[in-house]
Amino acid sequence: IAGITQAPTSQILAAGRRMTLRCTQDMRHNAMYWYRQDLGLGLRLIHYSNTAGTTGKGEVPDGYSVSRANTDDFPLTLASAVPSQTSVYFCASSPGPGVKLFFGSGTQLSVL
Amino acid sequence: DQQVKQNSPSLSVQEGRISILNCDYTNSMFDYFLWYKKYPAEGPTFLISISSIKDKNEDGRFTVFLNKSAKHLSLHIVPSQPGDSAVYFCAAVTPNTGNQFYFGTGTSLTVIP
């Protein structure tokens, strides 16, 4: 089934550890995004990529980095996790910038 | 600075009645608006959208209204069904912000059988 795959589904992480959340899409969408969902704050954009080889910062980029080596993959890395990064992370893609988003099922991350 | 706001965190409606979810925005340059529906432990799924050149878009039981002068949009669900119980997010986008989507904080809808 075509769509977006995120891994892991959930993770408990010790503060200070490095963690990479994986995201792969098979829809050949040009644009990809990482959001975090927090109670009372909705979905906030962390980083985005309008096309392979380019990335940009969203609303809350600090503490996160991304890469877009190819069309299908858009990993999100936390270099040194902190408890405030406890959240649900959603990867999304769209055929192009400004076109409706398709979301993955999310990664629940707890940083202790 | 929240550019898209949903001021009602929750809403309860009887089955068969109308559900009205509201959304306000501050950036007058937004030109495309969307509603997403989210069930627990799942990703948001697209529900309906509207371009700024329209004031209404209808898809089955779902209708979105846009009032540009008031910077307000609303989602009407008629008739409401228990399966509509979910969190609803509105979102807005404009080329002026790199085509980034801005989401509201969400409204949790409960449809009571």
Interval A18-43: pLDDT, tens: 999 999 999 999 999 999 999 888 89
pLDDT per residue over B18-67, tens digit each?
Answer: 999 999 999 998 999 999 999 998 999 999 999 999 999 999 999 999 99
Which among A44, A98, A103 has the least Cβ separation from residue B95? Answer: A98
pLDDT at residue B37 in the model: 97
- Smallest CA–CA distance, residue A109 to chain B, in Å, is 13
- pLDDT category at A98 given cuts 50, 70, 90 is confident
Residues of A in Cβ contact (< 8 Å) with B57: none
Mean pLDDT across chain A, nearest whole number? 94
Lowest mean pLDDT among A57-61, A70-74, A78-82, B73-77: A57-61
Q: Is the predicted pLDDT of residue B87 greater than 90, yes or no?
A: yes
pLDDT per residue over A44-64, tens digit each?
Answer: 999 999 899 999 999 899 999
Q: What angle do CA A16, A22, A24 make, to 5 degrees?
A: 165
DSSP-derived secondary structure for A26-38: SS--SEEEEEEEE
Rounded CA gap, A57 and A55, in Å? 7
pLDDT at residue A40 in the model: 84
DSSP-derived secondary structure for B52-63: TT-SEEEETTEE
- Smallest CA–CA distance, residue B8 to chain A, in Å, is 11
Contacts of B72 (CB under 8 A, 6+ apart): B22, B23, B24, B25, B66
> Which two structure tokens, joined as six digits, stand for A52?
């392979």
Q: Is the predicted pLDDT of residue A1 greater than 90, yes or no?
A: no
Cβ contact B32:A98 at 8 Å: yes
Buried b (16+ CB within 10 A) or exposed e, A48-71: bbbeeeebbebbbbeebebebeeb
Cβ contact B86:B110 at 8 Å: no
Closest listed residue to residue A46, CA positions, set A23, A76, A68: A76
- pLDDT category at B100 given cuts 50, 70, 90 is confident
Q: Is the predicted pLDDT of residue A97 greater than 80, yes or no?
A: no
Give bridge partners of residue A6 from the DSSP assignment. Answer: A23
Length of chain A, in residues: 112
Q: Which helix (H) or strand (E) holds A42?
A: strand A42-49
Residues of B in Cβ contact (< 8 Å) with A103: 36, 43-45
Q: Kindly give the pairing relationship between strand B10-14 and strand B107-112.
A: parallel
pLDDT at residue A105 in the model: 95
pLDDT at residue B71 in the model: 96
B10 touches chain A (CB under 8 A): no
